Amino acid sequence: MLRLWSVLCLSLLLLACSKPLPEQTNQLTDIYQRGQIRVGILHGPTSYYIGVDGPTGFEYELAKGLADRLGVELQLFPSFDLEDLQRKLKNGQVDFIAGGLTLTPERTAKFRAAPAYRWIDELLVFRQGNSWPQQLAELDEPVIVSAFSSHAETLRRLAAEEPAIRFQESADLDADELLQKVVDGSIRYTLTDSNQLAVNRRLFPQLNIGLTVSENLPVGWLLPKNQDDSLFSVLIEYFGHVYQNGDLVTLEDRYFGHVELFDYVDTIRFIRAIEDTLPAFRHWFIEYAGDLDWRLLAALSYQESHWNPKARSPTGVRGMMMLTMPTARQMGVQSRLDAEESIAGGSRYLQLLLNRIPERIPMPDRLWFALASYNIGWGHLEDARRLTQRDGADPDKWLEVKQRLPLLRQKSVYQHTRFGFARGDEAALYVENIRRYYDTLVGVDERQQLEQRQEQQRQRLVEQSEQVAEAPPLSQ
């Protein structure tokens, strides 16, 4: 974060030395006059996509925060094509473009870079089980990357210094599709960003890191390259604000915090369980989910019991949702070993906990608090929130509270709390595990739905072809 402050201070100094601009060239005035800020945004899981509750994504929320701060409407121009976004920026169709864009020398030569807000590594990846690449120049096949990407620019610079480096640019495949091609064996190697790999590994754990090609590359938004400082100065103030108040760190944790730790064996086991074990219980998760996403309920159940109706812990909790005897009675569950009853009772209990969370706490933090209290109890969660408030941090933010949960193990701390000792570190990991399982399950479920639609479409085409073949010939 010191790098961010350095960039901000330098930018402010440059602005102080710049000359005032004619009013007609003021980009910020145009934004206020139209009541909209127009953002070209890259469509993808690390940037912007349509989720269960509508538009979401790290870059989307950053852009929405800027629009709200300016008091204008956010108008999005989504694209899967970075070249298309650059074209929109050049012709003035958008005010800036966003999408986890690495601030490469080539890009900053053509566009103006807003303050960097993240730093990533560029990684060479290959499929688990294949040969282990040691150097780019020694690869047996070319590295395939998206055209107009930062990865293509990196390889172009490296190949100029080391001609033995071979790579190809694909105009048809984006970075996520290339990762899928690595998994299915269509290509051997590609480059990807570290955060992009972390997200994709939830669905494709076979992706393996060969080597780090570039480290600590800045990520930021791109503006038109002109002398208008009006929007640029607003962005300096905006990123300084979200850094100071913790919103930037909270946002990073929401989208990337739970995927930073990767367990290959556990991810493989979970994906197999989705295919082999979940189908027997899926309809009950859907039936009893209520206002919850059934996939979240299923992820909670997997964390608790690995979808084993007969599961039992040393502490006496049992069943699919690992309910205690008092909780089971409270939720009207007669047999904790009955899978349907357990799922129904666990869902009611989670929704009860969710309703206990103060309404001022927004989602998804509200949900993470409910999950934590499912694990260690409402009282211990409240103790952790009090510790957070005592430290001057925000007790309504999951990021802050989860950092204090491990303190509930320390005698010097828990002896002064209302509910005493608790395995708070396990509760924090518990919630992060469920978040990972949920993300994986959503991805697998959406992929299965897509495959089903494609198969149904194929069947319709086959039936239509058969009907045409069986139709009697037209009379002459």
3-state helix, strand, coil split of the chain in percent (to 5) is: 55, 15, 30
What is the rounded CA–CA span in Å between residue 109 and residue 105?
6
pLDDT for residue 18? 46
pLDDT for residue 386? 96
Q: Cα angle vertex 54, ends 263, 82, to 5°?
A: 75
pTM: 0.79
pLDDT for residue 451? 79
- Where does residue 292 rank: exposed (0-12), middle (13-18), buried (19+ CB within 10 A)? middle
Structural contact between residues 108 and 52, judged by C-beta atoms closer than 8 angstroms: no
What is the rounded CA–CA span in Å between residue 205 and residue 464?
39
Q: How far is CA 428 from the centre of its chain?
A: 18
pLDDT for residue 288? 97
Structural contact between residues 97 and 39, judged by C-beta atoms closer than 8 angstroms: yes
Closest CA to 220 of 4, 468, 1: 4
pLDDT for residue 22? 44
Dihedral sign for Cα 377, 378, 382, 385, please. positive
| Spatial CB neighbours of 473, under 8 Å, sequence gap ≥ 6 | none
pLDDT for residue 52? 67
Phi, psi (degrees; rounded to nearest 5) at 424: -65, -35
pLDDT for residue 436? 93
What is the rounded CA–CA span in Å between residue 101 and residue 42?
9
Query: Cβ–Cβ contacts within 10 Å for residue 181, how many?
Result: 17
Tens of pLDDT along the chain (476 residues)?
A: 445 444 454 454 444 444 444 445 589 999 999 999 999 999 888 899 887 678 889 999 999 999 999 999 999 999 988 899 999 999 999 999 999 999 999 999 999 999 999 999 999 999 988 877 788 988 889 999 999 899 999 999 999 999 999 999 998 888 889 999 999 999 999 999 998 999 899 889 999 999 999 999 999 999 999 888 999 999 999 999 999 988 999 898 888 888 777 888 899 999 999 999 999 999 999 999 999 999 999 999 999 999 999 999 887 899 999 999 999 999 999 999 999 999 999 999 999 999 999 999 999 999 999 999 999 999 999 999 999 999 999 999 999 999 999 999 999 999 999 999 999 999 999 999 999 999 999 989 988 887 788 888 888 887 777 777 776 665 54
pLDDT for residue 450? 79
Relative orientation angle of helices 247-256 and 58-70, to the nearest 10 degrees: 150
pLDDT for residue 473? 63
Active site residues: 304
Phi, psi (degrees; rounded to nearest 5) at 218: -75, 145
